[in-house]
A and B are shown apart, each in its own frame.
Chain A
């Protein structure tokens, strides 16, 4: 099983809503990532979890709140978003090699978020 599963695939929310994006992998990977991708742009790193602990937070606004409840699951809680937060949100996972570096990332298909 080499899949990263993201739900929902599409989400439309108002600026006062609270919603969550979910990501699941069963490859035994201990690093998980959230990226944000705007149209015709590369993915931008938001958060990295290593061994279920937040290891990188790229100064993301607090209206985005990540959570890693266990080694297979990664959530991104959304609250009071702005229209400019509309984007494709990509989850990824990777092994942590013996060197401490991560290997290749396996990506989900993404959750396309529209904020009205």
Chain B
């Protein structure tokens, strides 16, 4: 069955520390891959996407993600977290017209 897994429900990091959020997928072929961020009461904002080509993709707000086919992973990274990065992060996969989301990882940033 097709699935998207975000193993970490909640992560806390200190401001200025590095961040990695994990995402794994199980699909028959490589789907399109995305990371979205959602602040409380808001819609979802696209951070970055992977369709094909270079497996390291750069996004907005200093985020990047690396697609690893052998591990079926698309982990999100940021070298130095800012307090404003505190939010819910969703990994998403799309095949045909169907986009599905992982359960989300809530990021808390300590001062």
**Binding partners A and B:** yes
Asked if A101 meets B94 with Cβ closer than 8 Å, knowing A42-B104, A45-B99, the reply is: yes
Contact code string A48-69 (vs B, CB < 8 Å = 1, else 0) = 1010000110000000000000
Q: How large is the interface on A (under 10, 10 to 19, 20 to 34, 35 or more residues)?
A: 20 to 34
Contact A48 B101 (CB under 8 A): no
Closest residue of chain B to A91, judged by CB?
B43
Contact A90 B90 (CB under 8 A): no
Contact B101 A104 (CB under 8 A): no
Q: How large is the interface on B (under 10, 10 to 19, 20 to 34, 35 or more residues)?
A: 20 to 34
Contact B43 A105 (CB under 8 A): no
For chain B, residues 1 to 46, give those with C-beta under 8 angstroms from any C-beta of chain A: 32, 34, 36, 41-46
Main secondary structure of the interface of A (DSSP, over half): strand
Asked if A90 meets B43 with Cβ closer than 8 Å, knowing A42-B103, A103-B32, the reply is: yes
Contact of A31 among B41, B97, B102 (CB under 8 A): B97
A102 within 8 A of B: yes
Please report the C-alpha to C-alpha distance between residue A41 and residue B106 in the assembled complex, in whole angstroms: 11
User: Can you list 6 contacts pairing A with B, beta carbon distance less than 8 Å?
Assistant: A45-B98, A100-B96, A101-B95, A102-B99, A103-B49, A108-B43
